[in-house]
């Protein structure tokens, strides 16, 4: 994160100010209040501290916010502050916060494109509908929130308490903000949500398994009942077959009748059964026709014609003789016709007599078949055949129920596999729930302590005060000898003094500065890169000249290697010789401005 530019209108004691902060190195903010006749009250903190903090976070280090930041000398004017900065990913942003009207806006531009207000049309606005949502986007782009910025990138007056003056709980809370505790909390929430989801899914699977088990038990019980009934039916059928076979063995044998019946049946297999009434009627009719045509044949005279009369023996006249010959020929033809009719009548009589014989055979078959069927052995054999052909009425039900039960068993196996998979997932999720719980937060704090201790020691050594020692721990030793979980910072001096309050004002400033630098190092390790911007507001008020020189040398020789701009607000005239880049702030008539 790096602050590149600041501008404001009608904020605090300003009317219009603008300051380029990109790659300024160690920049001294000096000032003079012509109203007061001294350097105090010029508005140095306004320019280098309050405007930046209020624009980025909506409040100052001292807690000023809302209309308290508006220049009361120009109440009708719109008040706003604007800060351009570069995020850790190289993307550049511009924030504008205003009063009258109240507004908070955020724009984004690629790092390769310089921020200039004339080119606002090329920027992409990221502002959310709600101001708090826009503030979250700003915090994300900065890689820090107000508290983290205040304790890692800001040092000096205006801040209520340094890190070492906070309560142990406040110190722990601040470290949780610097460390990825919020991510851990987010992961914990997601893990709990996933655990709850999987637990509910496991409950549904267990309910399905219970349903399948109940169904299998019911099917199994039903099959047991069916098998019992099937066994009883088999025993009953076997008993019935045995009874019939015994009855057949002691009954009269109708075998010959059966043979005779079967023989008649084969002879009648392709025949149609004639009607007795029809046979009787047709026989009467054709016998009468036969007798009539027999009589007619007997009446026809077929004797040859003589040449003389039978009575007088005289030759017959030719005419008479011709007539008799003609009559004789007619008789011959009539006789032939009668004979044909007689033969046809005989054939029909023969046919219907044969039909009567066929009917007699049918009647004989019926009588024999009736005798066989009415015979006990025939009835018994028929009944035995029916009994043996019967199938158990329970077998189909047993087979169908077995198929249903196998389907339920297959479903249960699949559900149990799903249950095992879900339980395994739940065990893994539960592991992460425990991992992301309070114990994991405590572990992060515990791991941060050695890092903070080493970095603080290095900074104190670089600041020329290696005699000062700071120890960090997550437990506190009680007078009883017991320990309790509590973030604890112990400050001491090798030259004497145990505790932060026992140090001199200058030593307290040096220790607070070193711890703040260590916290900045820790924050940089979490967001993927160090902050390139720092505000030092009157950090040397209680320092000796030697310590002032040590701090400036450390800032120029070490800190400036990772910081693009360090704003140093000070009234110390000796620093002007040490810091060549200076911005002069002037206050006149209650209005603060920056000298060009």
My answer on whether 418 and 454 are in the same domain is no
Q: Any idea which of 26-35, 349-358, 387-396, 540-549 has the lowest mean pLDDT?
A: 540-549
Chain-centroid distance, C-alpha 5: 48
My answer on whether 142 and 284 are in the same domain is no
My answer on whether 137 and 268 are in the same domain is no
Q: Is residue 384 part of a domain?
A: no
My answer on whether 149 and 97 are in the same domain is yes
The predicted structure's pLDDT at residue 528: 57
pLDDT band at 200; cut points 50, 70, 90: very high
CATH number at residue 108: 3.40.50.300
Query: pLDDT digit string (tens) for 530-576?
Result: 789 999 888 767 778 888 888 888 988 888 888 999 999 887 777 77
Q: Is residue 151 part of a domain?
A: yes
Q: Is residue 184 part of a domain?
A: no
φ/ψ of 48, rounded to 5, equals -100, 0
Identify the helix (H) or strand (E) that includes residue 564: none
Question: Which residues fall within 8 angstroms of residue 15, CB to CB, at 6 or more apart?
Answer: 9, 71, 74, 591, 593
pLDDT at 446 over 70: yes
pLDDT at 4 over 90: yes
Q: Is residue 293 part of a domain?
A: yes
Residues, the chain, total? 596
How far is 416 from 145, CA to CA, in rounded Å? 49
The predicted structure's pLDDT at residue 246: 81
My answer on whether 97 and 45 are in the same domain is yes
Query: pLDDT digit string (tens) for 383-403?
Result: 889 988 999 899 999 999 999
496 CB-contact burial (10 Å; exposed 0-12 / middle 13-18 / buried 19+): exposed
My answer on whether 431 and 452 are in the same domain is no
Packing angle, helices 395-435 and 181-250, rounded to 10: 170
Residues 475 and 484: beta-carbon distance below 8 Å: yes
**Nearest to residue 180, comparing CAs of 447, 561, 366, 399?**
447
Q: In the listed set 405, 420, 435, which residue is the last one of a domain according to the structure?
A: 435
Question: Which residues fall within 8 angstroms of residue 410, CB to CB, at 6 or more apart?
Answer: none
**Nearest to residue 492, comparing CAs of 473, 519, 475, 511?**
511
What is the rounded average pLDDT of the residues 75-101?
87
The predicted structure's pLDDT at residue 421: 92
My answer on whether 273 and 290 are in the same domain is yes
What is the rounded average pLDDT of the residues 419-443?
82
Q: Any idea which of 265-274, 401-410, 578-587 has the lowest mean pLDDT?
A: 265-274
pLDDT at 458 over 90: yes
Q: Any idea which of 168-177, 242-251, 555-564 has the lowest mean pLDDT?
A: 242-251
pLDDT band at 118; cut points 50, 70, 90: very low
Neighbours of 539 (CB within 10 A): 22
The predicted structure's pLDDT at residue 159: 57
How far is 54 from 70, CA to CA, in rounded Å? 11
Q: In the listed set 374, 406, 424, which residue is the last one of a domain according to the structure?
A: 374
b vs e for 61-95, b when ≥16 Cβ sit within 10 Å of the residue's Cβ? beeeeeeebbbeeeeeeebbbbbbbbbbeeebbbb
The full DSSP string for 439-503 is HHHHHHHHHHHHHHHHHHHHHHHHTT-TTEEEEEEEEEE-TTS-EEEEEEEEEEETTS-BSGGGS
Identify the helix (H) or strand (E) that includes residue 536: strand 533-537
Q: In the listed set 416, 435, 454, which residue is the last one of a domain according to the structure?
A: 435
pLDDT band at 90; cut points 50, 70, 90: confident
Q: Is residue 564 part of a domain?
A: yes
Q: Is residue 346 part of a domain?
A: yes
My answer on whether 459 and 525 are in the same domain is yes
Mean pLDDT of the chain: 84
What is the rounded average pLDDT of the residues 299-313?
71
Between strands 16-20 and 2-9, the pairing is: antiparallel
What is the rounded average pLDDT of the residues 490-514?
88
Range of the domain at 302: 253-374
My answer on whether 418 and 360 are in the same domain is no
Residues 535 and 572: beta-carbon distance below 8 Å: no
Q: Is residue 68 part of a domain?
A: yes
My answer on whether 90 and 201 are in the same domain is no
pLDDT band at 14; cut points 50, 70, 90: very high
The full DSSP string for 73-109 is TSTTS-EEEEEEEE-TTS-EEEEEEEETTTEEEEEEE
Residues 148 and 524: beta-carbon distance below 8 Å: no
pLDDT at 157 over 70: no
Q: Is residue 386 part of a domain?
A: no
pLDDT at 456 over 80: yes
Cross-sheet strand order for the sheet of 79-86: 16-20, 2-9, 79-86, 92-99, 103-109, 124-125
The full DSSP string for 411-451 is HHHHHHHHHHHHHHHHHHHHHHHHHTSHHHHHHHHHHHHHH
pLDDT band at 252; cut points 50, 70, 90: low
My answer on whether 265 and 227 are in the same domain is no
pTM of the model: 0.58
Cis peptide preceding 101, ω within 30 of 0: yes
Q: Any idea which of 300-309, 346-355, 537-546 has the lowest mean pLDDT?
A: 300-309
What is the rounded average pLDDT of the residues 521-534?
78
Coil, strand, or helix at residue 587? strand
Between strands 582-588 and 25-33, the pairing is: parallel
How many structural domains comprise the chain?
3
The predicted structure's pLDDT at residue 178: 80
My answer on whether 493 and 521 are in the same domain is yes
The predicted structure's pLDDT at residue 527: 60
pLDDT at 223 over 90: yes
More confident: 513 or 331: 513
What is the rounded average pLDDT of the residues 23-48?
88
CATH number at residue 332: 1.10.287
Coil, strand, or helix at residue 568? strand
The predicted structure's pLDDT at residue 538: 81
Half-sphere exposure of 376 (CA within 13 A, CB side): 10
């Amino acid at each position: 994160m790096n602050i590149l530019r600041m501008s404001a209108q009608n904020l605090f004691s300003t009317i219009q100010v603008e300051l380029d902060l990109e790659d300024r190195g160690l920049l001294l903010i000096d000032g003079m209040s012509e109203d007061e006749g001294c350097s105090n009250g010029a508005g140095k903190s306004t320019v280098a501290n309050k405007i930046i903090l209020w624009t980025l976070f909506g409040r100052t280090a001292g807690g000023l916010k809302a209309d308290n930041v508006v220049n009361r000398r120009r109440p009708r004017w719109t008040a706003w502050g604007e800060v351009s900065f570069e995020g850790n990913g190289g993307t550049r942003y511009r924030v504008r916060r205003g009063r009258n009207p109240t507004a908070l806006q955020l724009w984004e531009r690629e790092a390769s494109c310089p921020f200039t207000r004339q080119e606002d049309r090329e920027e992409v606005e990221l502002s959310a509908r709600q101001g708090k949502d826009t503030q979250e986007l700003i915090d994300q782009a900065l890689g820090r929130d107000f508290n983290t910025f205040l304790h890692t990138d800001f040092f000096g007056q205006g801040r209520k308490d340094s890190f070492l003056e906070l309560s142990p709980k406040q110190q722990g809370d601040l470290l949780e903000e610097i460390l990825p505790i919020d991510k851990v909390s987010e992961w914990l929430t997601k893990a709990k949500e996933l655990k709850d989801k999987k637990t509910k899914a496991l409950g549904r699977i267990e309910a399905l398994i219970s349903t399948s088990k109940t169904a299998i038990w019911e099917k199994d019980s039903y099959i047991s009942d069916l098998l019992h009934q099937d066994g009883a039916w088999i025993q009953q059928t076997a008993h019935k077959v045995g009874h019939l076979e015994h009855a057949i063995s002691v009954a009269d044998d109708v075998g010959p009748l059966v043979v005779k019946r079967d023989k008649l049946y084969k002879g009648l297999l392709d025949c149609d059964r004639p009607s007795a009434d029809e046979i009787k009627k047709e026989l009467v009719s054709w016998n009468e026709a036969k007798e009539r045509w027999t009589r007619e044949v007997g009446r026809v005279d077929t004797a040859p014609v003589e040449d003389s009369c039978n009575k007088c023996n005289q030759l017959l006249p030719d005419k008479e003789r011709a007539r008799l010959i003609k009559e004789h020929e007619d008789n011959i033809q009539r006789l032939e016709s009668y004979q044909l009719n007689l033969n046809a009548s005989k054939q029909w009589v023969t046919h219907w007599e044969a039909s009567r014989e066929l009917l007699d055979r049918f009647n004989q078959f019926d009588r024999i078949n009736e005798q066989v069927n009415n015979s006990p052995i025939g009835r018994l054999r028929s009944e035995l055949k029916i009994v043996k052909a019967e199938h158990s009425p329970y077998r189909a039900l047993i087979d169908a129920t077995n198929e249903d039960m196998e389907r339920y068993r297959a479903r249960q196996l699949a559900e149990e596999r799903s249950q095992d998979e879900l339980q395994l997932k739940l065990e893994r999720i539960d592991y992460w729930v425990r991992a992301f719980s309070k114990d994991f937060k405590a572990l992060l704090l515990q791991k941060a302590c050695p890092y903070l201790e080493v970095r603080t020691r290095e900074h104190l050594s670089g600041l020329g005060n290696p005699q000062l020692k700071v120890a960090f721990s997550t437990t506190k030793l009680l007078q009883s000898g017991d320990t309790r979980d509590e973030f604890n910072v112990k400050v001491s001096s090798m030259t004497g003094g145990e505790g932060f309050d026992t140090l001199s004002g200058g030593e307290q400033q040096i220790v607070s500065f070193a711890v703040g630098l260590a916290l900045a190092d820790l924050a940089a390790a979490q967001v993927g890169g160090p902050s390139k911007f720092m505000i030092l507001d009157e950090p040397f008020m209680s320092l000796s000249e030697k310590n002032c020189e040590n701090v400036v040398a450390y800032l120029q020789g070490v800190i400036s290697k990772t910081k693009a701009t360090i704003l140093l607000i000070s009234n110390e005239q000796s620093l002007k010789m040490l810091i060549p880049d200076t911005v002069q702030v002037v206050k006149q008539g209650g209005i603060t401005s920056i000298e060009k």
